[in-house]
Structure 1
Amino acid sequence: MRRPFIIFLAANALSVTGNMLSLLAVPWFVLETTDSAVLTGLASFATTFPIVISAAFGGTLVDRLGYRATSVLSDLASGVVALAVPLLFVTSELGYPLLLLLLFLRWLVTTPGETARKAMLPDLSVAADVRIERAAAAYDGVYRAAAMVGAPLAGVLILWFGPHLLLFVDGVSFLLSALLIGSGVPRVWRGERHSTGYLGDLRAGLAFLWRDRLQLSATVMVVVVNLLDTGVTQVLLALYSRQVVGDPRAFGLLTGVLGAGAVAGTIVYGATGERLPMRLTYGLAFLLAGVPRVLVLALGAPFPVALAVTAVSGFAAGAINPILGILQYDRIPAPLRARVIGTMTAAMYAGMPIGGLLAGSLSSLTGLDVTLLMFTCVYVLISVPPFVFRTWRELDRSRPFRG
């Protein structure tokens, strides 16, 4: 019975790898074809904005269509749209406005598939007789590992074959994912549904999240941290590498070590998580994932020290997503699962564009060191709730998902 679960993880790895290939290939492709940083930034907006829209409003459709059906349809549509970009480019039919439209559509149809796969995870773990702690860690570990491998793979493929061929590989990866889910993963039970129409279903998901103070608090924490992380990874690490280390390779090393540490942390949590107190583990992981790696840069520590501390922070971060997943699977009723997860995902993405603007503006006004210290203080404050608020005691009472 574990074969469908393994196929499910493999399909998700293909989708994530395709996403990473696209995220690196598109900016390079736009720069090569337009030689414009402004148009490249606009293409980036066309990539990120539809994720927020689709996650917010697509979760209800996922609940109505079913998890497996949505995953397959989403991957098929993503593959077709992704393949259209290099094919139209080769035939000289791809103008910039059409490229923006295709990018918008590609990410609009991709997000429901990700929501559906996350929603079907707990039922597949039960069928495979895999504890939810290990299933959630495996899902997040595959996601992180695919992202970590996809980035350097994209760089090599761009160098060898050009970005348009990379987009072709992106499209094929989604078609393969659809084939794996459609042929190797069974339908999962989603509970009794009592639909009141699309808008009524959407309101029910929002109302559930609003009433669940623990999940609402967890969502707010991740919104703020995603905002901070975006500013750190997209702006402050680049500035640190240029101004302090004087070597652009430092940027890549810090990013790579953080990702490798997170993969290791996810693996360790999968093996030991069922024996750890969830609230304390989550609080410490949240604190260590953000504060040390930014503070060490602000204090001007030697680069090898910064690299080691960043690895530790990445390791701590490995436990965060699996615990959030367990919280969602334990508390969200199956008929509401996709729409509530989609709403939480939309919120978590919504602040990310602001992070880069905030980091860039603050560093220009106050300098890099002061900005890093300010970010450190916010990381500390946003890590406080699990330690002090009574609502978070409910996390220790979360039960292992049993279907």
Structure 2
Amino acid sequence: MKRLTAAERGHGRRVPVLFLAAETLSLLGNSIAGIALPWLVLVRTEDAAAAGTVAAASGLPMLVAAVAGGVVIDRVGRRRISIGADLASAACVAALPVVDAVFGLNLGWFIVLGIAGAVFDIPGMTARETLLPDVATSAGMSLERLSGLRQAFTGAALIVGPALGALVLTWLEGSTALWVTAATSATAALLTAALPANLGTSTVAEKQHWAKDLRFAASVLRREPVLIMLTALSTASLLVMAPIQMLLLPAHFVQTGGSAGQLGPVIMASALGMIGGNLVYSAIGTRLSRRTWLSVSVLGSIGAIAWLTALPAYWWVVAASAVLGVVSGPMQPLMLVLTSERVPEQARGRVFGVQNAVMLSASPVGAFAGGWLITGLGVHGTGTLITVVWAALALGALLLPGARQLESQNEEVPVDADDR
């Protein structure tokens, strides 16, 4: 075995540190903006519907950006798109205080710049996901370890971000608070730029029509049972969790005379539990089989969701949320590992882009259906139905052929030459 020099060992340690720092800062900026932008819209327009309009307006562009961004990633390169997306996101956010100073912000400006920022955020997220195997290989680190660490840092950013956003709005006046978000995105781009230049380069030798690019991604997904199973399971989990967090728990607290403040500890417990699950997977992910990890995580989540949606006394709700976070924590990094292993390098951006587009549509569909169900069945009836639906979907996913083919493989997914 080749003995690494001190310089090579230092280089290997530097790459994952830069990658994780860039990922965390980018997500931190998005989390801060997620608090600051709706607040500013409410302050300026004094209309809650306007804040909802700004959020909804970015929905369709985000889906288009997820699909189109995957094609661009494979053509241009994963590292380059990650840098460009963070810089563009920083520019869109920075434009808000500039426009405010020159013209004054109104609903139209919020919608236009909000859509622009969302369009760049999704390809940036996809590009960083597709960079993960390159970073792991460059650092000599297992995919399980790096993926678990990435998810833990992601969870931390999603916890710290909203709190930091509230503090920033307190410290800085009006739209000037958005300079903090712009700075975090720009710094993330600089950290990614410090990664080796040959990391995540384009592997598409021939540029072709976008439709053929997307058909190739669809053929990869269609021919690999593991990818079908993972996409179905991820989509199902988002379909179920959206109505629980966005509607079921808030409606329960309102009906029982609680307050909006009660939702904070519940979401925090889930996030902290998930970070714990991520770290456990990062530490011992290779010691158990992938099927064991997936089975324990899925079966554990069925029990935890049943407990949570039974809507027990408040602190039991918090405890159930924490348990759900712990048992589901290994699921996301495991799915990223399995997907990264089975997608041909030249199609990684397109396949991840299509997957993200499918999964992005799940949350609004789940929330929409949840609203109607709560109106018709009440919170307890809806909670019971959600548990039954999740159990059926989760157990169904474990019975798919792909659930029996999870162990490590080195062969690429076969695709037709016409699809390439």
Q: TM-score, normalised by structure 1?
A: 0.94
Equivalences, count: 400
- In structure 1, the partner of 2:363 is 352
- In structure 2, the partner of 1:38 is 49
> CA-atom RMSD, angstroms?
2.0
- In structure 1, the partner of 2:24 is 13
**Residue 255 of structure 1 pairs with residue 267 of structure 2:** yes
Structure 1 unaligned residues grouped into runs of 5+: none
Change (3 A) 1:242 1:189: closer
Deviation, structure 1 residue 148: 1.1
Change (3 A) 1:192 1:114: closer
- In structure 1, the partner of 2:70 is 59
Aligned partner of 2:316 among 300, 305, 322: 305
Alignment-mate amino acid for residue 212 of structure 1 = E
What secondary structure does 2:256 align onto? Answer: helix
Aligned partner of 2:288 among 246, 264, 276: 276
What secondary structure does 1:395 align onto? Answer: coil
For residues 257 and 19 of structure 1, the distance between their equivalents in structure 2, rounded to whole angstroms, comes to 21
- In structure 2, the partner of 1:176 is 187
For residues 244 and 398 of structure 1, the distance between their equivalents in structure 2, rounded to whole angstroms, comes to 51
Deviation, structure 1 residue 386: 4.8
What secondary structure does 2:197 align onto? Answer: coil
- In structure 2, the partner of 1:139 is 150
For residues 174 and 87 of structure 1, the distance between their equivalents in structure 2, rounded to whole angstroms, comes to 17
Aligned partner of 1:237 among 230, 249, 268: 249
What secondary structure does 1:256 align onto? Answer: helix
**Residue 86 of structure 1 pairs with residue 97 of structure 2:** yes
Deviation, structure 1 residue 400: 12
Further displaced range: 23-32 or 368-377: 23-32
Cα offsets for 1:229-260 (capped at 9, x unmatched): 11111111111222236233221110010001
**Residue 334 of structure 1 pairs with residue 371 of structure 2:** no
**Residue 224 of structure 1 pairs with residue 263 of structure 2:** no
Cα offsets for 1:238-296 (capped at 9, x unmatched): 1122223623322111001000100111001100110112123113213333x344423
Alignment-mate amino acid for residue 103 of structure 2 = S
Aligned partner of 2:217 among 195, 205, 209: 205
Change (3 A) 1:399 1:384: farther
Alignment-mate amino acid for residue 110 of structure 2 = L
Change (3 A) 1:11 1:129: same
- In structure 2, the partner of 1:366 is 377
Aligned partner of 1:288 among 300, 313, 319: 300
Cα offsets for 1:335-373 (capped at 9, x unmatched): 101110111011011121122221111111111100011
Alignment-mate amino acid for residue 149 of structure 2 = A
Change (3 A) 1:135 1:347: same
Q: TM-score, normalised by structure 2?
A: 0.90
- In structure 1, the partner of 2:227 is 215
Contact 1:83 1:167 in 2 (8 A): yes
- Identity over aligned pairs, percent: 26
